[in-house]
Amino acid sequence: MRRAAVVAVAACALAASGLLSTRATAAPEPRDAGPRAAGPSVAADHALVGYLHTSFANGSGYTRLADTPDSWDIIDLAFGEPTSATSGDIRFGLCPRTECPNVETKDEFKAAVKAKQAAGKKVLISIGGQNGQVQLKTAQARDTFVASVSKIIDEYGLDGLDIDFEGHSLSLDANDTDFKNPKTPVVVNLISAVKALKAKYGAGFTLTMAPETFFVQLGYQFYGTGKWGGQDPRAGAYLPVIHALRDDLTLLHVQDYNSGPIMGLDNQYHFMGGADFHIAMTDMLLTGFPVAGDKNNVFPPLPPQKVAIGMPASVNAGNGHVSTGEVNKALDCLTKGSNCGSYKPHGTWPDLRGLMTWSINWDRFNNWEFSKNFDRYFG
**Residue 168 pLDDT > 60:** yes
**Residue 176 pLDDT > 50:** yes
CA distance 215 to 261: 13
DSSP symbols for 21-63: --BPPPPPPPS--PPPPP-SPPPTT-EEEEEEE-S---TT---
The 3-state DSSP class for residue 164 equals: strand
Q: Which of 29, 99, 155, 166 is catalytic?
A: 166
Percent of the chain with pLDDT over 70: 88
**Residue 12 pLDDT > 80:** no
What is the rounded average pLDDT for all residues in the chain? Answer: 90
Tens digits of per-residue pLDDT, 40-95?
A: 333 348 999 999 999 998 889 999 999 999 999 999 999 999 999 999 999 999 99
Inter-residue contact 288 to 337 (CB < 8 Å): no
CA distance 142 to 189: 6
CA distance 52 to 358: 8
Stretch 155-184: mean pLDDT, rounded? 96
Task: Express the helix, strand and coil content of the chain in percent, nearest 5 each.
Answer: 30, 15, 55
- Residue 24 — very low, low, confident or very high, per pLDDT cuts 50/70/90? very low
The H or E element containing residue 354 is strand 354-358
- Residue 219 — very low, low, confident or very high, per pLDDT cuts 50/70/90? very high
- Is 326 assigned a catalytic role? no
CA distance 280 to 276: 6
Tens digits of per-residue pLDDT, 277-319?
A: 999 999 999 999 999 999 999 999 999 999 999 999 999 999 9
**Residue 358 pLDDT > 60:** yes
Tens digits of per-residue pLDDT, 140-149?
A: 999 999 999 9
